[in-house]
Amino acid sequence: MSKPDLSTFSFAVDLEQGVVPISKAASSLAALLKRTRTTHKPIIITQKGYPTGVLLDIELFTTLRELASRHRHSGKGEAGEQGSSS
């Protein structure tokens, strides 16, 4: 497998367009999906004014899953699981 290229994605959140209340997200989900797919930027979904979820385009989600899997399989993900043995 080739190493995922994260340079095409932006993790910066546009605070004017990239934070959306859940009520607006529910009524305009197709447009938000198109926006995140086009810009490769995450969209924060809020509920009662607090961030509760993130909308990502599928390419970024797939890349992040692959990186997490590699991290787990390399043994790096086990550091927090080792330690105390009672």
pLDDT along the chain (86 residues), means of 10: 62 72 94 91 93 91 88 68 45
Q: What is the pLDDT, as a whole number, of residue 83?
A: 44
Decide: pTM greater than 0.85: no
Domains of the chain: 7-74 (3.40.1620.10)
Q: Identify whether the C-beta of residue 18 lies closer than 8 Å to the C-beta of residue 41.
A: yes
Question: Residue 3's pLDDT is what?
Answer: 61
Here the tokens at position 11 are 């993790």
